[in-house]
Amino acid sequence: MYMNDKKDYLRGHSIFGSNGNLHQIEYAEKSVNSSEPSVGIQFENGIVLLSQKTTKSSPLLIHDSIEKIHRIDEQIGMAFSGHITDGRILAEKLREHTEEEKLQFGNVSETSVLIHAISEDIQDTIKSTELRPYGVSLLVGGIDFNGTPQLYKIDPSGAPSAWKGVAIGKNCSDIQQHIENNYVDKMDKDEALKLIIESITKYTGDKIQPELLDITIITEDDYIEQSQETIQKLINNIGDKDE
């Protein structure tokens, strides 16, 4: 059985199993679930995206060289879990779709337009006999033209879904459960930041360092990447309250 699974993997395209699952998608999902987590939370006026860049805390590693949250446009960001290069490629594709929308209509009226476009790109690799599926799950947060914040998750299969709070990657089930237990509608930015830091620090095992995290806040007025100093303060505030 193992050899058959291995042969299916080496064929380089998606194969339906006897249970109806696509083997290549299952391999891609395993890649996502073994990688560092990313989390998105929607608050009343915006979106918070968080990604753990790595588990390595070497003094020789330049942590800023690892980019897990990509700015797509002034009010759109993308976080991911999975293969770094696949995430970068899909971020660039999202930027291309954004530019196409702006050239044709002058703006991106709804974040969902980009979600459907990138989902089709992912589906194209699944249908191809020459390309492997992308080994990533995506979180895309954006502000629609009417000012409404939107948060979407896209699976390796290309299936999109809208969320108020969602986690992907390693320990995502536990992180997701923590968000669901503590999320409240119309929370403000500070409440969303507190919840997203709690959700990641509670399930990362060792005490997490600020240089290992990327956090971005997207609102109608701003796209703000949080500094290491700000992230450290957020972590400290959680730690102080736990004592």
Identify how many contiguous H helices and E strands the chain contains and give both numbers. 7, 10
> Token pair for residue 200?
């990641």
Q: Of 55, 47, 43, which Cα lies nearest the Cα of 72?
A: 47
> Token pair for residue 208?
């997490």
Q: Residue 231 and residue 213: Cα distance in Å, rounded? A: 8
pLDDT of residue 59: 78
Q: Residue 147 and residue 43: Cα distance in Å, rounded? A: 12
pLDDT of residue 63: 79
pLDDT of residue 149: 97
Residues found in the chain: 243
- Angle at CA 77, nearest 5°, toward 194 and 126? 115
pLDDT of residue 19: 64
pLDDT of residue 241: 57
How does strand 149-154 pair with strand 160-162? Answer: antiparallel
pLDDT of residue 55: 76
Contact 145, 82 (CB under 8 A): no
Mean pLDDT by 10 residues, the chain (243 residues): 43 56 79 94 97 82 87 97 95 97 94 97 83 92 96 96 97 96 96 96 79 95 95 85 53
The structural domains of the chain, ordered by start, are 21-54+63-242 (3.60.20.10)
List helix spans (H) across the chain. 2-10, 23-33, 84-105, 111-127, 172-182, 189-201, 228-242
